[in-house]
Structure 1
Amino acid sequence: MKNYILGVLLFTVSLSVKAQNQEALFEKSLLTLNDMLVNESHYSFKKAVFSVENAYLNGKLDSLAVNGQIKVLKELCSLLINGRFLAYVESDKPDVNKWASVYQVMCDSIPIIIKDQEYRYIPFRYDFDDVFGNQELSNMFISKLLTTRKGNCHSLPYLYKILCEELGTTANLALAPNHIYIKHQNKKNGWYNTELTSGIFPNDAWLMASGFIHVDAIKNGVYMKALNNKESIALVMMDLADAYQKTFPNNDGSFLLNCSQTALSVFPNLTSALIMRAEIHKKQIEKETNIDKAKQDFKKLEVEYSHIHKLGYRYMPEEMYLNWLVSLKTEREKYENKKLTNFNKK
């Protein structure tokens, strides 16, 4: 019996130590992201994303393997840049060529010749299983995408942005309901969309076709806005909050509130942060024993939810989201930006 009790105690202590170690990894990631917001020269989207993945994986992210795979993809992009004739003549052609090469590596089959033997490079594909990471959060990770060659509207645009930055150019993330895509701006066409889940260049009409993008959401920069680097880090900070919530479901809300408030300091209309902050306040009200204070806090909570609604946010069910996503392929002719298709694939 004594041995059994000792065993249970040791097991409990072991779990506690592991939890503390993982908690430290989350705190380290938060410090890393904070530092990027304060010191622009320390910005690295790749470092930010993998700090979150490593924290959730409890320090078990294989950084060498992940960076090695990204290096290979970068080198493949460079080969395409040097070997392509691009039908584009404006002064920003070097950047456009880099974007086209990353697009091709992400979305196209590419013939590769090694010692006179031709091989076919297989592009990344969309994974329709657990698209929101509800069953397993790591299904949203770039490390999973690199391993399986299958990803979603989170990992695919994240990897695209990382590859662009590895090549010394830019890529702007943009938001739609439950969705992330890429926006670029070139001198010839202005702003245009790149959709990695289907590999085409949809016009804004497709985004509006979902029925869940309210005009107020566009006006307030909730959706369809090209995010700057700080706003992109704010997105990653909310990824960190989601990962923390999954790892420590019984947390007191302080870490999540810290993430939300920091993200909102650079991206005030980031609805995921606004919703998470409101949900934390709601839980705090439910635990409040002082009735008068609970009533006062509830009035403040109503203001928070009202603000989110006024921004134009609307909830989009998962099934409807998937139908909307599929419509981009089934109605491709209706939504594709024809001006961009040709020069991006040459």
Structure 2
Amino acid sequence: MTRLPLILTLVASACCNFAACTNRQSETERRLVRRDSVLTEDVYYNRAYWIISDMLSGKAPLSLKKAVFAYEWAYSEGKLNYEDYDKEITETAQRLQRFIKKKGVSHLKTAGNYALFEYFTKPSELNGNKAFEYDFEDPHGKEDQTKQFVTKLMQTHTGQCHSLPLLYKILADEMKTEAYIAYAPLHSYIKHRDEIGEWVNVELTTGRVVADEFYISTYDVTTDDIRNRIYMDTISLHKTIADCLVSMAFGYKEIYGVEDPFLLDCYNAVLKHYPNDINALKGVYAYTRAIDKRYYVNHDKRNLEYVKTFIEIDRKLDSMHYKDMTPELYQELSDAVEAYHRRILKERKETKK
């Protein structure tokens, strides 16, 4: 992506008025905030950071809908339109509420979950006769990060384990329906309670409800992972929004490189609230290793402060019994998951014949 340098002395305040922060931004708007609020000279990412950070600090209401849009908007250099995005989510939620009423299931605790499952998995008037499907083309966003975006999912009805659960959660929040995002290695999915209070796992990439054993066996989740609440635990709305900063850092790193200090601002903002967050810890580790490596090249010696930081993170991850994947295991798991999705898709097509 080609980005024009945006060297600003001051930028507009971090509010939810995304439209104010565009290439047409006025000089008056650029002078509204103190310099110490500018963490990056990329005006879009700076705005997105403060939108999410203000939610985490209690200065703004929690809204996953706005948090997700913020970092996707930043990556797209302000080209996404929040009003259109918000309108589509609102209208979809209203359509699902009418569906619940029409089916006569409003009295059920899981009425919203039922409607959402129908919306995602079955072609109908709810989704323009186009169910949501797994996108096999660059599912991890290595070539095109927008492949993982919720805004892309809304347009194409094709996504993967990052965007599908996020859209489900956004719509559930809009409908005041209980739903939580949960993680497995390289994966996320939805958890909610059924009518008798038992937990249900909704696997949106295949349009199925699956047992815990599926994630344990497929993604090699250990008892330590579960005990330390690294994987397969319900994630609060606050934590889900904090995780948006990690996603935002991922996109920013693609543009500006691994050594940009804004990455550290994002990771530290997460660790301030969640000191054991695996992805933020790994982000700080990668950043300090990269900076230390460059320091060694320039000075022919190690920076002890950076060395101390990544050694401490190493020890912390060890104390949590966390084991990072080797590149070989990562590829093996990715291939196995893709093969599984292709098999499910084939079975579904054969069933329709």
Q: TM-score, normalised on structure 2?
A: 0.78
The one of 266, 280, 292 aligned to 2:273: 266
The one of 279, 288, 301 aligned to 1:281: 288
Paired AA for residue 313 in structure 2: E
Shift of 1:193: 0.8
Q: Distance in 2 between matches of 1:18 and 1:41?
A: 27
Residue pair 2:134, 2:341 contacting (<8 A) in 1 also: no
Shift of 1:67: 2.5
Equivalence map 1:305-344=2 (5 Å): 305-311=314-320, 312-315=322-325, 316-324=329-337, 326-327=339-340, 330=343
Residue pair 1:230, 1:266 contacting (<8 A) in 2 also: no
Equivalence map 1:115-194=2 (5 Å): 121-194=129-202
The one of 51, 67, 74 aligned to 1:48: 67
Structure 1 stretch displaced more, 283-292 or 203-212: 283-292
CA pair 214-15 structure 1, distance change in 2 beyond 3 A: same
Shift of 1:328: 6.9
Q: Distance in 1 between matches of 2:57 and 2:235?
A: 17
Runs of 4+ in 1 over 6 A off after TM superposition: 18-22
The one of 16, 19, 30 aligned to 2:5: 16
The one of 302, 306, 310 aligned to 2:311: 302
Which structure 2 segments of 5+ residues have no match? 10-22, 24-40, 346-353
CA pair 211-139 structure 1, distance change in 2 beyond 3 A: closer
Shift of 1:258: 1.1
**Residue 109 (structure 1) aligns with:** 123
Which structure 1 segments of 5+ residues have no match? 1-11, 87-91, 113-118, 333-346
CA pair 143-301 structure 1, distance change in 2 beyond 3 A: same
More helix by share: 1
Residue pair 1:145, 1:151 contacting (<8 A) in 2 also: yes
Paired AA for residue 15 in structure 1: L
Aligned length: 308
Identity %: 26
Paired AA for residue 160 in structure 1: Y
Q: TM-score, normalised on structure 1?
A: 0.80
RMSD: 2.9
Per-residue CA deviation, residues 41-65 of structure 1 (Å, 9 max, x unaligned), is: 6111000000111100000002233
- The structure that has the greater radius of gyration is 1
Query: Which structure exhibits the higher relative contact order, with contacts defined as CA atoms closer than 8 Å and separated by 6 or more residues?
Result: 1
Per-residue CA deviation, residues 301-323 of structure 1 (Å, 9 max, x unaligned), is: 23312432443243251442342
SS in 1 for 2:303: helix
CA pair 331-94 structure 1, distance change in 2 beyond 3 A: same
